[in-house]
Structure 1
Amino acid sequence: MEMARSSVPLIAVLCVSLLPLAAMAIGTPFHIEGSVYCDTCRFGFETVATKYITGARVRIMCKDRVTLKQDVVGEAVTGHKGIYKVAVKGDRQDQQCFAKLVHSPLRKCQVPDPGRSTATVILTRSNGAASTRHFANAMGFFREEPLRGCAALRRYYLADGDSRAI
């Protein structure tokens, strides 16, 4: 009988102390951060010649795994150095969520790189993640024509960083 009495206050303390934390987690938005760039050499990845885009538009989308219906849950415009930040309310549980390129303000850099035009984002607390701050992989647009010097830059990368290749 003594054992049962001593565990009741412990359970009550745990319930009272964890309830506000759970409530806060449910109402706290996720903060997604990522960047958008112009692939000036059309390599399909970021290089020293990459230009980060100010004023690019990004959309955060979530797709229901059963109905396949997609919803826009957030939008952002990149600021300095091509970085965007967006707050998304609500836990998306088992939905597939991703950031998606929408628009580039650069006239000669408007074609989304098919391999880097979306980035998966995690918008659930059910996976054990404690942080509400999540980072998306960088996304890029292709420049219409590669910049001069991209051939030398390609040789440099293929030479595994040997500075004599430039």
Structure 2
Amino acid sequence: MARSYTPLLAVMCVLLLPLAAMAAGTPFHIEGCVYCDTCRFGFETILTKYITGAKVKIVCKDSVTLKSEVVGEAVTGRRGRYRVAVEGDRQDQQCLAVLVNSPISNCQFPDPGRNTATVILTRSNGIASTRHFANAMGFFRD
């Protein structure tokens, strides 16, 4: 009885191998938003203004060598939203979305508690999706 399933199992493995290879080559898509904290509360409120044109970068730091590498950059669009495609699995690295600058002259100071957001860029953690969401990051209004 077990022998009758062996060819079926072998065929299934061969057929699924290209799907696994395609998933491994698919880039991660990091999405998030950037805001101006008009009230200086340190979090989003109903008075929060989302920033169009803010620059964000994705930085990964190797856990062994401690070298940092910029793996992606983006500029926020409408409603302060950005999307960055990152190639490759960063299994042994700590990756962060980092604020670079704001185009608003009176909203230039990054909120120390919300100026970075951790992003997980590995397929070895059980998450099937390549779409990942970073926490919102903000600048304080002067």
Output the CA distance in 1 between the equivalents of 2:28 and 2:130.
5
Q: Select 1:23's aligned residue among 2, 12, 21.
A: 21
Shift, 1:62, TM fit? 0.6
- TM superposition shift of 1:49: 0.9
One-letter amino acid of the structure 2 residue matched with residue 66 of structure 1: V
Unpaired runs of 5+ in structure 2? none
Distance 1:37 1:59 in 2: 15
Q: What amino acid is the match of 1:89?
A: E
Q: What is the letter of the counterpart of residue 134 of structure 1?
A: H
Q: Flag structure 1 segments of 5+ consecutive residues without an equivalent.
A: 145-166
Match of 2:103 in 1: 105
Match of 1:63 among 42, 45, 61: 61
CA RMSD across the alignment: 1.0
SS of 1:99's equivalent in the other structure is strand
Question: Percent identity over the alignment?
Answer: 77
Instruction: Give 4+ residue runs of structure 1 displaced > 3 Å after superposition.
Output: none
Q: How far does residue 94 in structure 1 lie from its aligned partner after superposition?
A: 2.4
Q: Quick one: distance in 2 between partners of 1:110 and 1:35? A: 16
Identify the residue that residue 72 of structure 2 maps to in structure 1: 74
* Structure with larger RCO (C-alpha < 8 A, sep 6+): 2
Could you give the per-residue CA deviations for residues 14-46 of structure 1, whole angstroms, max 9, x where no partner exists?
321221121011110001100000001111000
Q: State the match for 1:53 in structure 2.
A: 51
SS of 1:109's equivalent in the other structure is coil
What's the counterpart of residue 149 of structure 1?
A: none
Aligned to 1:10: 8
**2: CA distance, partners of 1:96 / 1:13:** 38
Please report how far the alpha carbon of residue 93 of structure 1 lies from its aligned counterpart in structure 2 after TM superposition: 1.0
Moved more, 12-21 or 96-105: 12-21
Match of 1:84 among 82, 91, 110: 82
* CA-CA distance at 1:122 after TM superposition: 1.0
Aligned to 2:125: 127
Amino acid at match of 2:132: H
